[in-house]
Amino acid sequence: MIDLYGRITSGNSYKVRLLLALLCIPYRAIDIRLGTAGRNEVDHTYLALNPRGQVPTVVDGDTVLWGSTSILVYLASRYDPSATWLPREPPAFGRTMPWLELAQNEIHTALFRARAIARFGYKGDADAARREGEVALDVLERRLETGGAWLAGDDAATIADVACFPYVALAPEGGFTLEAHPFISLWISRVKKLPGFVPVPE
């Protein structure tokens, strides 16, 4: 069975839990607590698995992976023979990758940071994070308005949607108003209707 080291309040951990649920993969959740100043409470045993000391980390037999992007790619590659969640054809594969970039750059550095400052007391410039976050939301809104139901194409959801979903859905916790982004709101509703969907923790 897969071991998932994560935290219930972590959007990056949730990405992995969501894909595991969508793929109907059983797993064991192991909690990594958040300590003071936004740092994970980890020991040398966990650091041997993940030298960054962050979440999530997955152990699948002899395979140990850390970082939500690498884990999503691995799970989709190994456990989805239909290649729906991570298309194998180069054009479709290529259309998936930019959204993983957005998830780990503008979405993480702005939407995540704004939420972390507001909810968990992280240090930082909340106003700057919200300005940058609006840029990320505008990119998503334009794509969903003109490019179809899902980020990487019309046919089906992919790990592009899984990667971007959590911190976008949680954006109101960072002070964003999603009502100003109607196509994002519709996309969030579509994600929530996927078979096997598990909700973002409150």
| pLDDT tens, residue by residue, 146-172 | 988 999 977 899 999 999 999 999 999
Which residue segment(s) compose the domain that 73 sits in? 2-79
Does one domain contain both 180 and 140?
yes
Contact 17, 198 (CB under 8 A): yes
Residues 149 and 188 in one domain: yes
Residues 67 and 150 in one domain: no
- The pLDDT confidence band at residue 37, using thresholds 50, 70 and 90, is very low
Asked, for residue 159, whether it belongs to a domain, the answer is: yes
The residue from 44, 79, 114 where one domain ends is 79
Query: In this structure, are 55 and 137 located in the same domain?
Result: no
Q: Which ranges constitute the DSSP H helices of the chain?
A: 11-22, 44-49, 68-79, 90-102, 113-120, 126-146, 159-169, 182-192
Q: What is the pLDDT of residue 200?
A: 86
Same domain flag for 144 and 175 = yes
Structural domain total, the chain: 2
pLDDT at 181: 96
The conformation of residue 103, written as its DSSP 8-state character, comes to I
Across-strand partners of 64? Answer: 59
Q: Are residues 104 and 72 in the same domain?
A: no
CATH number of the domain bearing residue 107: 1.20.1050.10
Query: According to the model, what pLDDT value does residue 9 have?
Result: 86
Q: What is the DSSP letter of 165?
A: H
Q: What is the pLDDT of residue 34?
A: 64
Ranges 11-15, 95-99, 118-122: which has the least confidence: 118-122
Could you say which of 45, 79, 113 is where a domain stops?
79
Does one domain contain both 48 and 100? no
**pLDDT surpasses 60 at 44:** yes
Are the C-beta atoms of residues 14 and 68 closer than 8 Å to each other? no
Q: Is residue 200 part of a domain?
A: no
pLDDT for the residue 39: 56
Q: Is residue 202 part of a domain?
A: no
Residue 198 lies in a domain: no
Segment 21-42 mean pLDDT:
80
What does pLDDT average to over the chain?
93
* In the block, residue with structure tokens 């980890």: 42
> Of 31, 53, 79, which residue constitutes the final position of a domain?
79
At residue 79, what are phi and psi to the nearest 5 degrees? Answer: -115, 5
Confidence of residue 120 (pLDDT cuts 50, 70, 90): confident
Q: Are residues 70 and 98 in the same domain?
A: no
Read off the tokens for 78. Answer: 């190994």
Pair 69, 105 in one domain: no
Cβ–Cβ < 8 Å for 106, 98: no
Share of the chain above pLDDT 90, in %: 83
The one-letter amino acid code at 147 reads G
Give the residue, 42 or 139, on which the prediction is more confident: 139
Cα 19 to chain centroid distance, Å, stands at: 9
What is the pLDDT, as a whole number, of residue 158?
98
